[in-house]
């Protein structure tokens, strides 16, 4: 009896969770193809049967009347996210490999304390850091610039990269390092030639975390940029007003989340740790 109920319970939970996750996206999709009459007319779901679909919301996010052009903010977000994620992955992987393979001790501070220091940077509320970042960028002349926003974003993403990669490098057999050194590789060559090729799943997970957090950042972009630079989350918020255009907001939200969905689908096959099998001969 128990073996019969378990599959029913499992698939019921999965179905409910899928509806919970996909529901907001389906709601936003239908709303993005409505106009003011379609939104104010009550809850409707079926196009042409319950409401007449229109592309007004999608037209508005590309510079239509009453909307805002999101292409330049989209490019700004892409530049900041890609640059900050790449820098964070390079520096974070190097730091994580050192913390995984070598033992550091500065008085009572050990490897675990250093790792916790990195993680603790994500514990602090963003509002605690925004004022120091503001004065730092103002002093260096990087306030309201893409470069300044990249530097701040790196500071936010680097702890994530270190935290993810330390855990993954700890799971990579040390025999790989030893074989590479027997072949004449130094520590850096071992890292580049032997460890990184076998760390693609970990790098993919760290990259996904960095891209998601970097792409969705609103608070620091809102406080550290004003007129010269605007990211996509800022552009979406700019659509809000006393009477929110829900059709335009829904279209902008879907447009903003689409790159992350496509990226997740593209890199899904790299998230398996199976590529480590056979690495040790």
For the chain, domains (ranges, CATH) are 2-54 (no CATH), 71-276 (1.10.3720.10)
> How many angstroms separate the CA atoms of 115 and 169, rounded?
13
Q: Which one has a higher pLDDT value, 48 or 167?
A: 167
For 43-55, give one letter per residue: b (16+ CB within 10 A) or e: eeeeeeeebeebe
For residue 127, count other CB atoms closer than 10 A to its CB: 9
Query: How far, in Å, are 26, 44, 50, 175, 240 from residue 254 at the CA level?
Result: 10, 19, 22, 46, 15
Region 161-187: what's the mean pLDDT?
A: 85
pLDDT the model gives residue 267 = 81
pLDDT the model gives residue 149 = 95
Average pLDDT, the chain: 84
Query: SS3 of 109, please?
Result: strand
Specify burial of residue 188 (Cβ count, 10 A radius: 0-12, 13-18, 19+). exposed
Strand ranges inside the chain, DSSP E: 105-106, 109-110
pLDDT the model gives residue 195 = 87
- Closest-CA residue to 157 (of 215, 253, 85): 85
Encode pLDDT of 95-150 as tens digits. 999 888 888 877 778 888 888 888 888 888 888 889 999 999 999 999 999 999 99
Region 66-73: what's the mean pLDDT?
A: 78
Encode pLDDT of 39-53 as tens digits. 777 777 777 777 888
Structure tokens at 45: 């779901």
């Amino acid at each position: 009896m128990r073996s019969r109920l378990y599959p029913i319970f499992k698939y019921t939970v999965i179905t409910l969770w899928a509806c919970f996750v996909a529901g907001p996206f389906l709601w936003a999709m239908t709303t993005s193809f409505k106009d003011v009459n379609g939104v104010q007319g009550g809850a409707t779901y079926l196009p042409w049967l319950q409401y007449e679909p229109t592309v007004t919301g999608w037209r508005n996010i590309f510079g239509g009347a009453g909307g805002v052009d999101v292409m330049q903010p989209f490019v700004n977000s892409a530049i900041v996210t890609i640059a900050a994620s790449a820098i964070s992955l390079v520096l974070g992987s190097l730091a994580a490999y050192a913390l995984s393979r070598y033992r550091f001790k500065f008085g009572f501070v050990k490897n675990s304390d250093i790792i916790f220091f990195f993680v603790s940077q994500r514990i602090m509320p963003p509002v605690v850091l925004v004022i120091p970042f503001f004065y730092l960028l103002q002093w260096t002349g990087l306030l309201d610039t893409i470069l300044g926003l990249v530097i701040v974003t790196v500071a936010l993403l680097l702890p994530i990269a270190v935290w993810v990669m330390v855990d993954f490098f700890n799971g990579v057999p040390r025999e790989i390092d030893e074989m590479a050194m027997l072949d004449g590789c130094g520590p850096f060559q071992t890292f580049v030639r032997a460890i990184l090729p076998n760390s693609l799943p970990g790098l993919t997970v760290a990259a996904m975390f960095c891209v998601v957090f970097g792409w969705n950042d609103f608070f620091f972009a809102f406080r550290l940029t004003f007129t010269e630079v605007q990211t996509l989350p800022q552009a979406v918020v700019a659509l809000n007003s006393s009477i929110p255009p829900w059709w335009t907001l829904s279209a902008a939200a879907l447009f903003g989340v689409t790159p992350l969905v496509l990226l997740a689908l593209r890199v899904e096959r790299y998230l398996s740790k199976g590529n480590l099998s056979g690495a040790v001969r």
